[in-house]
């Protein structure tokens, strides 16, 4: 597995990471814990060194899973987790957390809990999960700076933050990585975010690099999502939108056939080709998908390939909003 550095930091990780969210959260049904422990450890054997989790995934159970799986392999891996949500009340324990909380005292409390659940002494990369408009980003960055000084955190990250927020945070504590959605069917980061990250020397970690499974070609307008599946709430995943958006999968399938690859591998290889400091974190619960994703790091798309993909993709209008309105308000702040 090739390695990449996140921006101008000294944080080096595998070119493809593993997003662990779907193992316990958002995309049911969830596999047995022992199966996922085995999958995570197999990922390390295959060269993956970058693992992504968060306290809210579960909640808590995802960090516990990642912690148990990676405990014997701690010196070989980089673990990223996130703070920023207010816990649901006891009566809402199984509901999604929706309120934000990035108050300094809450950040410190979350970090203590994450360290225990992950069975580690220091968090390699700590992201603010979503920008909290009630808390100055300078106070958030300052708190993480103190945690770094205390030896509890190594690197500071932001997720779904807008450019001005990134700049303000970076002026207090250098930001190592921004994690936001980016793929061939969500290219908004190219407008302002990517140029700012390049200027500031910040790495980029695209989540949902396969469009929450859509770009694999395994989802179409006939696909039925359980009501507890996060995708059932997304405008982009209505049958009507999926039917229209199929044109993008057809494009990936065409290129994949020429390259003796899969649509997912082309989608990931396209991302890797955009910048040398981009590290996608596709999630999966299946070994064959893990191996397929890892295989994309070995693929080389030529300038002609990239031009062909961009020209064809520019003619495809993506149908459906990325998030419902209530969630859309929490991104790009």
| Cα–Cα nearest to 124, from 169, 75, 162 | 75
CATH 3.40.250.10 fits 3-328, yes or no: no
Q: Which are the contacts of 195, defined by CB distance < 8 A and separation ≥ 6? A: none
pLDDT score recorded for residue 239:
96
Place of tokens 């929490």: 330
Q: Which of 155, 212, 225, 151 is nearest to 185 (CA)?
A: 212
Separation of alpha carbons 241 and 273, rounded Å: 28
CA distances to 95, 211, 225, 248, 283 from 228, in Å: 10, 18, 8, 26, 18
What pLDDT is attached to residue 326? 86
Residues in a beta bridge with 78 = 50
From edge to edge, which strands make up the β-sheet containing 78-83? 18-19, 50-52, 78-83, 123-128, 153-159, 175-181, 203-207
The residues pairing with 175 across neighbouring beta strands, listed in sequence order, are 156
pLDDT for 96 equals 60
206 by DSSP, 3-state: which?
A: strand
Q: Which residues are catalytic?
A: 57
Strand, coil or helix: what is 124?
strand
What pTM was estimated for this model as a whole?
A: 0.96
Per-residue pLDDT of the chain (333 residues; tens, 9 = 90+): 999 999 999 999 999 999 999 999 999 999 999 999 999 999 999 999 999 999 999 999 999 999 999 999 999 999 999 999 998 764 454 456 789 999 999 999 999 999 999 999 999 999 999 999 999 999 999 999 999 999 999 999 999 999 999 999 999 999 999 999 999 999 999 999 999 999 999 999 999 999 999 999 999 999 999 999 999 999 999 999 999 999 999 999 999 999 999 999 999 999 999 999 999 999 999 999 999 999 999 999 999 999 999 999 999 999 999 999 888 888 999
- Residue 92: predicted pLDDT: 52
DSSP-derived 3-state class of residue 323:
coil
Cβ contacts of residue 225 below 8 Å, gap of 6+? 231, 232, 237
Q: List C-alpha distances in Å: 214 to 36, 223, 264, 305, 307.
A: 22, 10, 9, 21, 22
Q: What is the DSSP letter of 29?
A: S
3-state secondary structure 42-103: HHHHCCCCEEECCCCCCCCHHHHHHHHHHHHHHHHCEEEEEECECCCCHHHCCCCCCCECCC
Query: Helices (H) and strands (E) in the chain — how many of each?
Result: 11, 9
Q: Where are the domains of the chain?
A: 3-328
**Which tens digit of pLDDT belongs to each residue from 16-67?**
999 999 999 999 999 999 999 999 999 999 999 999 999 999 999 999 999 9
pLDDT tens string 287-315: 999 999 999 999 999 999 999 999 999 99
Cα–chain-centroid distance for residue 138? 24
CA–CA gap between residue 292 and residue 37 (Å, rounded): 19
- The CA-to-CA distance between both ends of the chain, in Å, stands at 34
Q: What is the pLDDT of residue 98?
A: 80
Token pair 């307008």 in the structure block, residue: 221
Give, for 138, the enclosing helix (H) or strand (E).
Answer: helix 137-149
Asked if residue 36 lies in contact with residue 23, where contact means CB atoms within 8 angstroms, the answer is yes
Long-range interactions of 240-247: CB distance < 8 A, separation 24+: 240/319, 240/320, 241/319, 241/320, 242/214, 244/317, 244/318, 244/319, 245/185, 245/214, 245/316, 245/318, 245/319, 245/320, 246/220, 246/221, 247/316
């Amino acid at each position: 597995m090739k390695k990449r550095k996140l921006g101008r930091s000294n944080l080096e990780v595998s070119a493809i990471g593993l997003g662990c969210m779907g193992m316990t959260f958002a995309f049911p049904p969830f596999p047995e814990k022992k199966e996922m422990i085995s999958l995570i450890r197999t990922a390390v054997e295959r060269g993956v060194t970058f693992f992504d989790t968060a306290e809210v995934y579960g909640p808590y159970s995802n960090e516990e899973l990642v912690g148990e799986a990676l405990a014997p392999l701690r010196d070989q891996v980089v673990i990223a987790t996130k703070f920023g949500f207010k816990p649901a009340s006891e009566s809402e324990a199984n509901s999604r957390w929706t309120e934000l909380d990035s108050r300094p005292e809450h950040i410190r409390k979350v970090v203590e809990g994450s360290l225990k659940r992950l069975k580690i002494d220091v968090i390699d990369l700590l992201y603010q999960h979503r920008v909290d408009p009630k808390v100055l980003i300078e106070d958030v960055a300052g708190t993480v700076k103190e945690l770094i000084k205390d030896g509890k955190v190594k690197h500071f990250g932001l997720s779904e933050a807008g450019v001005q927020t990134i700049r303000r945070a970076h002026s207090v504590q250098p930001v190592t990585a921004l994690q936001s959605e980016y793929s061939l069917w969500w290219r908004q980061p190219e407008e302002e975010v990517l140029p700012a990250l390049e200027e500031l020397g910040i790495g980029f970690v695209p989540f949902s690099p396969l469009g929450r499974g859509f770009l694999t070609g395994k989802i179409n307008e006939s696909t039925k999502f359980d009501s507890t599946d996060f995708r059932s709430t997304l405008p982009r995943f209505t049958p009507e939108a999926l039917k229209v958006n199929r044109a993008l999968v057809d494009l990936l399938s065409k290129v994949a056939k020429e390259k003796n690859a899969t649509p997912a591998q082309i989608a990931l290889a396209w991302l890797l080709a955009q910048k040398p400091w981009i590290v996608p974190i596709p999630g999966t619960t299946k070994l064959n998908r893990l191996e397929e994703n890892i295989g994309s790091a070995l693929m080389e798309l030529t300038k002609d390939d990239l031009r062909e993909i961009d020209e064809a993709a520019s003619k495809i209008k993506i149908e459906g909003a990325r998030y419902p309105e209530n969630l859309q308000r929490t991104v790009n702040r």
